[in-house]
Chain A
Amino acid sequence: NAGVTQTPKFQVLKTGQSMTLQCAQDMNHNSMYWYRQDPGMGLRLIYYSASEGTTDKGEVPNGYNVSRLNKREFSLRLESAAPSQTSVYFCASKNRDGKNIQYFGAGTRLSVL
């Protein structure tokens, strides 16, 4: 079972470059999420998608855009990367079964120089 798959696992960017982080889940979940994790700060929600075709801002959306391409895929785009976006990015998904358990991918480690 693949669960939640994130690509790439590692990425180094120069300031101003753009890139897209990919996330796909094979559990037929309705909701998907993007978080960033910084040392000592836990995870903070960037954007989420409650269902296919909808997206909403989380706690720290500035500098990011998202696309819910279909039910399986939810991508996160950095249009002009900044050193402050150096972080570990996690994608998660959740089913609409009332249990409210989110399943996480292994993360993408991004460094912006």
Chain B
Amino acid sequence: KQEVTQIPAALSVPEGENLVLNCSFTDSAIYNLQWFRQDPGKGLTSLLLIQSSQREQTSGRLNASLDKSSGRSTLYIAASQPGDSATYLCAVSYAGNMLTFGGGTRLMVKP
């Protein structure tokens, strides 16, 4: 059974700091990996999707990397802003259909 773990569970940083969120998975035979953002009381928004053949994806201040061999992904957020405060979830996919989610990292960026 695939397990996805996110560390830390919560993180508080001052505005402007660069930060890294971590995601690890037990079975490296993934189809792809996604990072989602969840705001309080809201649904999930897909931020970045990395196919199994890719090493990283970038969108604005966000950069996600994937190392299948070690079963790890990181989400790098540059120059953090208070608007980045949310819960960030990673999810892995097998055979392109079902997603297995990590427990999330709750991020707070203080002004």
Contacts and interface: CB of A to CB of B under 8 A. Distances in A.
Interface of A: 4, 31, 35, 40-45, 48, 50, 58-59, 90, 92, 99-107
Interface of B: 4, 6, 9, 31-32, 34, 41-46, 49, 89, 91, 93, 96-104
What is the predominant secondary structure among interface residues of chain B facing chain A? strand
Given A4-B43, A107-B42, A107-B43, A40 B97 contact: no
A31 B32 CA distance: 17
B9 A106 contact: no
A104 B101 contact: no
B43 A100 contact: no
Contacts of A35: 101
A100 B9 CA distance: 26
B49 A106 contact: no
Given A43-B101, A59-B100, A106-B42, 12 more contacts: A4-B43, A35-B101, A42-B6, A44-B101, A48-B97, A90-B43, A100-B32, A100-B96, A103-B46, A106-B41, A107-B42, A107-B43
A35 B99 CA distance: 10
A100 B4 contact: no
A111 B78 CA distance: 38
